[in-house]
Every structure is written in structure tokens, then in C-alpha cells.
Amino acid sequence: MSICQDSFGYRLPAEWEPHAATWLAWPHRRATWLGDFGPIPIFFAAFARLLADYEPVRIVASGAALVEAGNCLRSIAAKHAIELFDIPTNDAWLRDTGPVFLVPHKSASQLPAAVAWQWNAWGGKYPPWEADAQVAQRIAKLLGMQVFQQSVVLEGGAIETDGEGTLLVNHRCVQDPARNPGLSLEVLEQVICAQLGIERLLWVGGELAGDDTDGHIDQLARFVAPGRVVAARQPDRLDPNHDPLEANIELLRTLVDAKGRRLEVIPIEIPSRFAFDGVQLPASFLNFYIANGVVAVPVFCTAADESALRTLVDCFPDRVVVPVACHELIRGRGGLHCITRDQPALQTPAML
């Protein structure tokens, strides 16, 4: 087991802290998506355009996918801060495959750094994944950052922080024999906390039917401020998500963060039995993305959309809350947070 002591002095920032950019990976793996793949690149182009109104957007792709991205974005890239980078990928879920960026905790002279966790496509579910396993290092090196290489498998969507030393993690997608065989929860906690500058790791549970990540936290519970968490709730007792989500809410209400605050938990009801061709999908409003001045919220053209948006408007009074129709994107079993990777605002010499 390797714990990188060089990460001392760094911390994992909250998503609402200022960004230098948002990173995306251009979609090209048609087998990822149920139904018609045609609308997916169109969705990515429109979402990149939305984000570019608020902060620079950097997109990775290679080969035919890079050409397609350039063609789709040509009319808007010149007018907006959208850049393309030639980095090969297997899939488009950059939240999980991209670098986890760290910022200096105290010293202004320290440069930002990034952690490159191991990657095996959510426990070997979707081969091949060799290109995606290199994406984190390649992006970080492109930025001229110090890279902390880890031997533990940890996807970016599995972790959620308040930026003040507290981390939420669902144990189901970390202590997994298909990801980290033979490693105890205690050892995993030690590695994660040491590498990310975390003072208190809060293990939670919960799951969504159709979620092949085994319970990523960004579908279930998200910080909206230090000490405040929104959590997915399913009121429909016939929906298989009802019981695990209720249990997770009750667990969250017992937890205390790194500053000694008991978590304030705000439930958000998610769509009931949302499916495509009879396959239930993990449609969750919790998979929102916070960028500079904006919160992009996945909506699904359901009766639950309006209530979720009202709650998130209340949670983010200083940001514009923008609904983004994700009934196409969710056919890949992921949402807006799953396809994004936020880069903190502190720049390295390579990007100045």
C-alpha cells in the first residue's frame, strides 16, 4: 500500500470554489448508450456551449472523435473559451477517469497538484479501459502539475467534499473486491484521507436501480454548503430506490463533519421508476454540476423536476440555476456531474 506523503499541504476543494475550467471527454463509444447514439454528441456540444458562458471548457478526444468534436464545436469555439486536446479515451465519464485536482492548503508558493487513482471501469464492467486509465495522468501532465499516482481504485464520482476537510463516500463502490481486493475499510480510509487532505471521512450507503457504479455519491448526496447536504429521496414505495434512499437519509442525519457540525440534510425527491425500453435508469437531480456562477441541474421532463429546481435555487442563492434536459444523457446511466471534471482556479505556469 502506497500513501503519498508528498500530498501533505494540499486539500480537496469544494466544487463551488472558483474554477479555472471544466473538462469534458467527447463521447464516441456507442455501446455505452441505450437506444440512438445520434443525440449524444449534440447534447455534449450544447452543454459545452452552456458552460462556456461561465468558464473555459477543455475537451479531450482523439482520432475520429477529435475531428467530430471540432466539427460540432467549430461555430462556437471561436467565440467562447472552448479548447480541444488530443488525449485518447475509451468513454466519456470524465468525472471518474479524470484527475482529482488538489489545491495548496497553506502555502501560496505551492503549485496545484492532481491525484491519478487507478481505474478499471467500475470493477471491470466495461472493457476495454486502458486509454481511460491514462487520462488523469495525461491531463495533469498537460497542465504541468505534480501528479500523485495511487494504487487504489477510486472514481471521482465516488467522493464528495465540503472543502473543509469532510468527505462523503459510499462504502459499496470503494470496499469492493472487484476494485480493491483484500483492502479493509480502515486501510482505504487511511489512504483516501492522506492523499486528499481529509480530516473526516463519512461512510454512507444508498443505491439507485440501474446505477452500474455501485452507488456513486454524486447520485445520492451532495454538499451545497459546509454542513448542508441535499439527499435523494424516493417517495414511491413501489420503486426499488425507496428503501435504500430512506435508510441513507437517516444515516446522513446522524453524521458530524470535520468541524463538529451535525449535517443538515435536505431531501430532494427524484423521478419514480424512470426507464427506457423497460430498463430502469438512475435519474437523479443530485447529479448537478456547480460551475462559476451557475448550477447546471439535470431534469427529465417529469413532475418531480420543478420541486427539485426550487430546492436547489434556495440552496444556491448566489448562482444561476439552469435546468438541462437529460432524458437522452441518462440513457448512458450518468448525468451532468458524471461527464464533468472541475479544475480549481489556481493556475500553473503551463496554462498562464
What confidence category does residue 352 fall into, taking pLDDT thresholds of 50, 70 and 90? very low
What confidence category does residue 334 fall into, taking pLDDT thresholds of 50, 70 and 90? very high
What pLDDT was estimated at residue 8? Answer: 64
What pLDDT was estimated at residue 1? Answer: 32
- As a whole number of angstroms, the distance between CA 96 and CA 213 comes to 10
Active site residues: 338
**Bridge partners of 267?**
231
What pLDDT was estimated at residue 4? Answer: 39
Does 128 sit behind a cis peptide bond, omega within 30 degrees of 0 on the bond before it? Answer: yes
Name the DSSP letter for residue 320. E
Contact 38/277 with Cβ under 8 angstroms?
no
Taking alpha carbons only, the member of 19, 69, 20 closest to residue 48 is: 69
pLDDT digits (tens, 9 = 90+) for 272-331: 999 999 999 999 999 999 999 999 999 999 999 999 999 999 999 999 999 999 999 999
What pLDDT was estimated at residue 266? Answer: 98
pLDDT digits (tens, 9 = 90+) for 33-42: 999 999 999 9
Taking alpha carbons only, the member of 102, 106, 59, 306 closest to residue 194 is: 102
pLDDT digits (tens, 9 = 90+) for 121-142: 999 999 999 999 999 999 999 9
Number of domains, the chain: 1
pLDDT higher than threshold 90 for residue 350: no
What pLDDT was estimated at residue 112? Answer: 83
Question: Domain range spanning residue 307?
Answer: 5-351
Angle subtended at Cα 200 by Cα 195 and Cα 204, rounded to the nearest 5 degrees? 100
What pLDDT was estimated at residue 78? Answer: 63
pLDDT digits (tens, 9 = 90+) for 99-122: 999 999 876 667 889 999 999 999
Question: What's this model's pTM, rounded to 2 decimal places?
Answer: 0.95
Contact 129/120 with Cβ under 8 angstroms?
yes
pLDDT digits (tens, 9 = 90+) for 197-238: 999 999 999 999 999 999 999 999 999 999 999 999 999 999
Contact 304/274 with Cβ under 8 angstroms?
no
What contacts 24+ positions apart, CB below 8 Å, involve 172-180?
A: 172/205, 172/207, 172/214, 172/215, 173/122, 173/213, 173/214, 173/215, 173/216, 176/123, 176/214, 178/120, 178/123, 178/124, 179/120, 179/122, 179/123, 179/153, 180/152, 180/153
**Bridge partners of 146?**
113
pLDDT higher than threshold 50 for residue 69: yes
Check which CATH number belongs to the domain holding 301 and give it.
3.75.10.10
Taking alpha carbons only, the member of 260, 211, 206, 258 closest to residue 233 is: 206
Contact 5/332 with Cβ under 8 angstroms?
no
- As a whole number of angstroms, the distance between CA 59 and CA 45 comes to 10
Taking alpha carbons only, the member of 219, 233, 204 closest to residue 282 is: 219
